[in-house]
């Protein structure tokens, strides 16, 4: 065993894998349903995401499986193609492209997302999980588990669905509240410090309580099938063959299949890299995931998933955060969760089909609260508006659209704040009588030219100007041209210009000219 599978943490990893399994089970089925794919296709993706991707990945605590962010793309593709097997060919192609992306170093994209945007993504997912799970906790199960888009297929949205109290189920409501109470109690120091009770995973106890309550309910409160987990009952290893489907590789000659393959590869890679960055930030040991290796692992997983009938896979933040919160320590927790998925659907599907969705909703509500903890909002607010505003914008954008669109909006706002901060701080103006001193700070880019020209326009005949570049590392060529033009015309305007360390090494050149030589010394 290497350090990625340290048996020292076997107990904690197994306990965490149970929690992740309980979270993953309804999500695999729900995302498959939302993708218009066979339910078993979601389970295939969950098993492969846990076992195969877990083995090849370098992410210590990341968990992979079917992702809600791809549900629309998958549903559109399945509806567009003549057969499901054509779609599977696109999944295999997408996985192959991901492997190539991993080998050419595309994983570095993960490091270009600002921390405020990543934290906003986590908080938004947490809030969305809570809002989406409240209906399930009271028995309103119109929308499949794992769907986080604002607008829902049933015509409702995240907020309007909360008002469907007329359709609540009393038995589910009671189970939801009791399970939530158990999870809150099990998160207290009293339970955690108890040597016996602390060994029992709270989510497992909540699920068992939900099953037990439903068994002893009177007929008027008994929860019916549509409010319970619904797994296909396989029966035996031989019977699995009837659930598997295989890709039609002859379809790879069609443009629509190739296009879908590339789309799956790009979206799945972006979602994975975002989740890798977020998972690493939540990791108590602050491990750094090798992102290129992660893309290759995801690609292998998607190729295998497509080869046997599964839907696309990405690293997913809900399962990864549940893994971290449950105390997972190594990759073994992700692998074991996949093994639990396979073992349980083979051996005890009847027992799993007795789990109330309200119990699982309670587990996810607690996961969501930990992602959107109020302490995060307070900390970002104290760090300043350049951190807080991109954080809040990302939350709102993710909640009212979807993960990728929200992240892109948050990223644009974050970049805007960087540019605005640099714009304000790059040029500092000081005046001493008719002597103007312009101090260049940090890096000076083309968008600072307007401010510089405004300073030049205020100078009058007989004034003195000092351009101080001793504290700057980079001067854009457009800034240099503005300085050069003013320097050349300054004698005609009877303005004395002093240049301090405005040197060639600090200027970026877009073409070769000899016109800069007179600016390479201090006058």
Please determine, for residue 207, whether its predicted confidence score (pLDDT) is greater than 60: yes
DSSP 363-401: HHHHHHHHHT-HHHHHHHHHT-HHHHHHHHHHHHHHHHS
Whether 407 is in a domain gets the answer no
**Could you read off the pLDDT of 5-40 as tens digits, one per residue?**
777 889 999 999 999 999 999 889 888 877 888 889
Whether 354 is in a domain gets the answer yes
pLDDT band at 454, cuts 50/70/90? confident
Q: Are residues 240 and 331 in the same domain?
A: yes
Write down which residue in 372, 393, 410 finishes a domain: 372
- Parallel, antiparallel or unpaired: strands 435-440 and 464-468: parallel
- Other C-beta atoms closer than 10 Å to the C-beta of 80 total 12
In this structure, are residues 428 and 451 in contact, taking their beta carbons and an 8 Å threshold?
no
Whether 406 is in a domain gets the answer no
Indicate the average pLDDT of the chain: 86
Q: Are residues 359 and 457 in the same domain?
A: no
Q: At 455, which CATH number?
A: 3.30.750.24
Mean pLDDT of 265-274: 90
Residue 194 pLDDT: 85
- Other C-beta atoms closer than 10 Å to the C-beta of 402 total 20
Whether 329 is in a domain gets the answer yes
Q: Are residues 269 and 180 in the same domain?
A: yes
Whole-number percent of the chain with pLDDT over 90:
40
Query: Which domain range does residue 450 map to?
Result: 426-519
In this structure, are residues 360 and 207 in contact, taking their beta carbons and an 8 Å threshold?
yes
Output 1 or 160, whichever has higher pLDDT: 160
With the CA atoms of 351, 356, 359 and 362 taken in that order, what torsion angle do they form, in degrees rounded to the nearest 10? 140
Q: Are residues 341 and 486 in the same domain?
A: no
- Give SS3 for 420: helix
Q: Are residues 193 and 95 in the same domain?
A: yes
Question: Which H or E run contains 496?
Answer: strand 496-500
CA–CA separation, 129 vs 148, rounded Å?
Answer: 7
Write down which residue in 352, 372, 392 finishes a domain: 372
Question: Which H or E run contains 431?
Answer: strand 427-432
Whether 498 is in a domain gets the answer yes
Residue 125 pLDDT: 83
Task: Calculate helix-pair angle for 403-425, 255-282, nearest 10 degrees.
Answer: 60
* Partners of 441 in the β-ladder: none
Residue 515 pLDDT: 39
Residue 512 pLDDT: 34
Domains identified in the chain, total number: 2
CA–CA separation, 479 vs 507, rounded Å?
Answer: 9
Please determine, for residue 391, whether its predicted confidence score (pLDDT) is greater than 50: yes
Residue 297 pLDDT: 97
Mean pLDDT of 311-323: 93
Residue 518 pLDDT: 45
**Could you read off the pLDDT of 64-108 as tens digits, one per residue?**
999 877 887 888 899 889 999 999 999 999 999 999 999 999 998
Residue 93 pLDDT: 97
Question: Which H or E run contains 312?
Answer: none
Radius of gyration of the chain (CA): 29
If phi > 0 it is left, if psi is from -120 to 50 it is alpha, else beta; for residue 433 that is: left
Output 112 or 2, whichever has higher pLDDT: 112
Query: Residue 44's Cα: distance from chain center in Å?
Result: 22
Please determine, for residue 156, whether its predicted confidence score (pLDDT) is greater than 90: no
Whether 507 is in a domain gets the answer yes
Q: Are residues 355 and 461 in the same domain?
A: no
Write down which residue in 349, 372, 395 finishes a domain: 372
Whether 286 is in a domain gets the answer yes
Q: Are residues 365 and 490 in the same domain?
A: no
Q: Are residues 367 and 482 in the same domain?
A: no
Q: Are residues 314 and 214 in the same domain?
A: yes
CA–CA separation, 23 vs 359, rounded Å?
Answer: 10
Whether 346 is in a domain gets the answer yes
Structure tokens at 129: 């999980």
Residue 408 pLDDT: 83
């Amino acid at each position: 065993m290497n350090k990625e599978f340290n048996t020292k943490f076997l107990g904690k990893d197994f306990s965490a894998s149970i929690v992740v399994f309980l979270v993953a089970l309804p999500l695999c089925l729900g995302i498959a349903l939302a993708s218009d794919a066979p339910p078993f296709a979601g389970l295939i993706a969950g098993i492969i995401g846990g076992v195969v991707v877990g083995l090849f990945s370098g992410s210590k605590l990341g968990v992979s499986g079917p992702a809600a962010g791809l549900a629309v793309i998958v549903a559109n593709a399945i509806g567009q193609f003549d057969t499901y097997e054509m779609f599977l060919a696109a999944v295999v192609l997408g996985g192959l492209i991901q492997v190539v992306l991993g080998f050419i170093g595309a994983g570095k994209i993960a490091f270009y997302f600002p921390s405020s945007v990543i934290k906003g993504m986590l908080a938004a997912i947490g809030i969305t999980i809570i809002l989406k799970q409240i209906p399930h906790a009271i028995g309103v199960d119109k929308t499949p588990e794992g769907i986080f888009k604002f607008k829902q297929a049933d015509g409702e949205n995240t907020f309007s669905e909360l008002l469907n109290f007329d359709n609540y189920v009393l038995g589910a409501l009671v189970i939801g509240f009791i399970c939530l109470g158990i999870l809150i109690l099990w998160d207290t120091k009293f339970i955690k410090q108890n040597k016996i009770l602390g060994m029992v995973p709270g989510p497992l106890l909540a699920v068992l309580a939900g099953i037990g309550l439903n068994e002893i309910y009177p007929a008027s409160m008994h929860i019916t099938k549509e409010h319970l987990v619904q797994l296909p009952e396989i029966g035996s290893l031989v019977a699995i063959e009837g659930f598997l489907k295989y890709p039609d590789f002859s379809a790879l000659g069609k443009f629509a299949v190739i296009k879908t393959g590339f789309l799956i590869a790009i979206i799945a890679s972006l979602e994975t890299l975002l989740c890798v960055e977020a998972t690493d930030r939540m990791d108590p040991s602050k491990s750094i995931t090798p992102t290129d290796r992660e893309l290759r692992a995801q690609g292998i997983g998607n190729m295998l998933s497509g080869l046997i009938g599964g839907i696309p896979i990405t690293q997913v933040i809900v399962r990864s955060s549940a893994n971290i919160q449950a105390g997972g320590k190594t990759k073994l927790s992700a692998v074991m969760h996949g093994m639990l998925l396979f073992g349980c659907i083979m051996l005890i599907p009847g027992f799993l089909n007795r789990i109330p969705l309200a119990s699982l909703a309670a587990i996810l509500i607690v996961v969501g609260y930990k992602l959107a903890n109020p302490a995060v909002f307070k900390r970002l607010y104290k760090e300043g508006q350049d951190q807080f505003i991109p954080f809040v914008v990302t939350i709102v954008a993710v909640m009212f659209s979807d993960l990728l669109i929200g992240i892109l909006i948050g990223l644009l706002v974050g970049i805007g704040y960087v540019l605005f901060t640099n714009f304000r701080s790059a040029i500092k103006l000081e005046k001493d009588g008719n002597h103007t001193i312009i101090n260049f700070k940090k890096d000076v880019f083309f968008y600072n030219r307007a401010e510089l020209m405004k300073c030049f326009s205020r100078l009058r005949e007989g004034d003195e100007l000092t351009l101080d570049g001793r504290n700057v590392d980079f001067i854009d060529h457009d800034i240099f041209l503005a300085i050069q033009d003013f320097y050349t015309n300054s004698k005609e305007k009877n303005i004395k210009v002093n240049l301090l360390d405005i040197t060639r090494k600090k200027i970026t050149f877009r073409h070769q000219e000899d016109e800069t030589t007179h600016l390479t010394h201090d006058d």
